[in-house]
Chain A
């Protein structure tokens, strides 16, 4: 029973693992390429075992052979990459670590069990190794990426990412908007107007289909709250606990309702009652699929731009169907706050016998031509370069997965087929200097002291949050119930968190 339990744990978490898409950088840091293995001394041949999730791409063996050929004579590294289904990766990692089995590099994520694995002392602190062997690894990422992802002041995993901020977008049906004669949407009010127009003139099409959790209608709006910057905390996946502005305080919705959030909730309730929000919002599991099937006019998604698969599906499924992305993201530098957290890491288990070699290998991957090989496959066969910072895939035999082991904002190429606007947004979020630094950058919440409250609150939260934030229940009564049941637990979590934050800021 336990095995099944742990196995499924991951499935859910994984859906939010990766958020941002690529942003390319035109200037390639030449310095990093030159710091190749200090000398051309020959190292003993060694095979590194690397554990990650995903499918083994059809051409993976060819790419690995090429990589090994390039490393032959210098690094002399052979690669044994084990791919595990994403639904089982968390369990696989824990088994490997707990049994002390040999592995040299492991993908992990705070959304999987990275923090508890660190707390258990499974991962090697990498700071010294990086200084010694990882010049390229350090040079290809802004220092904030390391700073924002330390645990107790140490780096336990190499942050993989190419963005400092996660984009959020409403996908809407452009063809319907044009048909109804509505101008391109610039504000949330216009979005709502469009939704009401859909309701009035397009029967059979649900105006808005939100999802549950953070993607519930009322909580998704916090992403576009530029004035107060209401943000999620490290403790909760939604905004029951939240940060505001940049004052280093945790706020608690159940303790004191934020008037702005209450307006969002009220608005969601009105839209649900008016039939604007899909009546089965809580029952639909694949909400993107519903949109792709032409059954909803607006959905919220975790990304900038229109996803390729959705765009094509709508085009195919609905005659004349077209999708456009509407985001209210403010592209003014320093307007948005970020704590530079990343969701994918490469860690070195303490039991590895080849720690230096593992870091040397990763360092080797952080050179443009090697990065290109491992990220996109064989040039001319799997992909072709479009300029220095874009590429075009030629076949699907080498699926894109740099985020699992090598991803960095310097060498990552953008898909040339993306729109100008999306490329702009992605370039913007890639640059650390465009964002206001969160005073809590580098803070990690340790749930251990309030574990019982956390578990208790999560079951209560699941009962109320998506219902209230999607307007399914009358918020006046439901909120009182939510407060009564969950209030005490959340208060304790909030207090513990504030305590840890104060200690962090004090240092």
Chain B
């Protein structure tokens, strides 16, 4: 018994260690090589320890005064969007998972249906830009993503693990639906909510699509659009350098791609420890039951 347990432990630790290594090594290369000079990337490719250090890729990425403005737009969109999404998704998923809720199945189906069948691009654009009048509004970057069906269904799966007796007990104690949800159900699903929060935050942080479509005013451009613009136009520009453009040095085409990865990872480095904290103490169900 003890032996097989130990054998199992060895398997566990080595499997995890193996996976950590294959994830860490390429990622290390991304981070380190984002500080490599463009010429060492061109001649030697990705290296574990680049031969020549340079911050040119970051300088290129962060040129101009747009950076801080974009950063704050992104922060506002991410914080407001994530908070609203969390509220709407969790309440919606609760209804979809609720045994006594009417049309729960239909609601789920409709949610799922829109995930597969979109509305078509032009229709979506006209709805947001013209009917809702959200053109050049910060809300155009928030509202369309409020409910992600994928995350809603993950939450549904979580809610379903909560025994229905919890609801009944709460009702007997005189709690109304809101109290039941926010005071009792919500704390019990903290790990799941933390996960969803993380995913929503990522979604808002990484989005450029809505901004491209609906925001023409560059004062309201989020970070990702700034980066996308630089990268998308970079090849074109480096192509043009041959003609009439002359920069002091070649554009860091390869370096910027790596630097982008490091820049987009920003929020996660801040957010992930919080999320992890909630993963450890998800023992509430047992506590309530007992």
Contacts and interface: CB of A to CB of B under 8 A. Distances in A.
B123 to A, nearest CB: 10
Contact of A393 (B218, B238, B245): B245
Interface stretch (B15-23, B100-108, B248-256): B248-256
Interface stretch (A53-61, A470-478, A490-498): A53-61
A73 interface: no
B125 to A, nearest CB: 5
A113 B7 CA distance: 63
Given A99-B125, A99-B126, A316-B39, A85 B242 contact: no
A396 interface: yes
A42 B286 CA distance: 79
B177 to A, nearest CB: 38
B239 A85 contact: no
B245 A306 contact: no
B168 interface: no
A98 B39 contact: no
B232 interface: yes
Interface in B26-53: 38-39, 42-43
Interface stretch (A15-23, A135-143, A229-237, A359-367): A15-23
Residue among A54, A95, A318 with most chain B CB within 10 A: A95
How large, as a class, is the contact surface on chain A?
Answer: 35 or more
A120 interface: no
Contacts of B98: none
A216 B228 CA distance: 30
B239 A18 contact: yes
Given A22-B244, A55-B233, A88-B212, A95 B125 contact: yes
Given A21-B242, A308-B246, A312-B249, A58 B233 contact: no
Interface stretch (A123-131, A254-262, A287-295): A287-295
Nearest to B234: A55
Contacts of B247: 308-309, 393, 396
B148 to A, nearest CB: 16
B106 to A, nearest CB: 25
B129 interface: yes
A292 B236 CA distance: 16
Given A83-B218, A86-B233, A309-B250, A3 B244 contact: no
Contacts, number: 145
Contact of B244 (A11, A21, A301, A317): A21
Interface string A297-320: 000010101111110110011100
A95 B122 contact: yes
Contacts of A86: 232-233, 236
Interface in A59-101: 80, 82-88, 91-92, 95, 98-99, 101
A306 B242 contact: yes
A14 to B, nearest CB: 6
B230 A309 contact: no
A305 B242 contact: yes
B118 interface: yes
B232 A87 contact: yes
Interface string A406-448: 0000001111010000000000000000000000000000000
B254 to A, nearest CB: 7
Contacts of B231: 85
Contact of A58 (B43, B63, B129, B237): B63
Contact of B239 (A15, A294, A413): A15
Contact of A85 (B122, B130, B228, B250): B228
B235 interface: yes
Given A15-B235, A84-B212, A313 B218 contact: no
A399 B60 CA distance: 13
B174 interface: no
Contacts of A6: 121
Interface string B94-135: 000000000000000000000000101110011001100001
B64 interface: yes
Contacts of A87: 228, 232
A101 B245 contact: no
Task: Identify the interface centre among A1, A11, A85, A312: most chain B CB within 10 Å of its CB.
Answer: A85
B230 A18 contact: no
B244 A415 contact: yes
A91 B228 CA distance: 15
A179 interface: no
B241 interface: yes
A2 interface: yes
Contacts of A188: none
A294 B254 CA distance: 15
B250 A396 contact: no
Interface string A104-121: 000000000000000000
B225 interface: yes
Nearest to A22: B244
B20 to A, nearest CB: 30
A228 to B, nearest CB: 29
A312 B247 CA distance: 10
Contacts of B229: 55-56, 83-85
A99 B129 contact: yes
Contact of B39 (A3, A317, A417): A317
A85 B237 CA distance: 12
Interface string A2-31: 110011000100110110111000000000
A124 to B, nearest CB: 21
A313 B242 contact: no
B243 A415 contact: yes
B253 A289 contact: yes
B251 A309 contact: yes
Contact of A99 (B130, B232, B240, B245): B130
A312 B118 contact: no
B240 to A, nearest CB: 7
Contact of B250 (A95, A313, A417): A313
B254 A312 contact: no
13 contacts: A3-B209, A21-B243, A55-B230, A55-B233, A82-B218, A83-B218, A87-B228, A95-B122, A309-B242, A310-B242, A310-B250, A317-B39, A317-B43
Given A292-B250, A294-B43, A305-B242, 11 more contacts: A53-B233, A58-B64, A82-B218, A85-B212, A86-B233, A88-B212, A95-B122, A95-B125, A309-B247, A317-B42, A317-B43
Interface of A: 1-3, 6-7, 11, 14-15, 17-18, 20-22, 49, 53-56, 58, 80, 82-88, 91-92, 95, 98-99, 101, 286, 289, 292-294, 301, 303, 305-310, 312-313, 316-318, 392-393, 396, 399-400, 412-415, 417
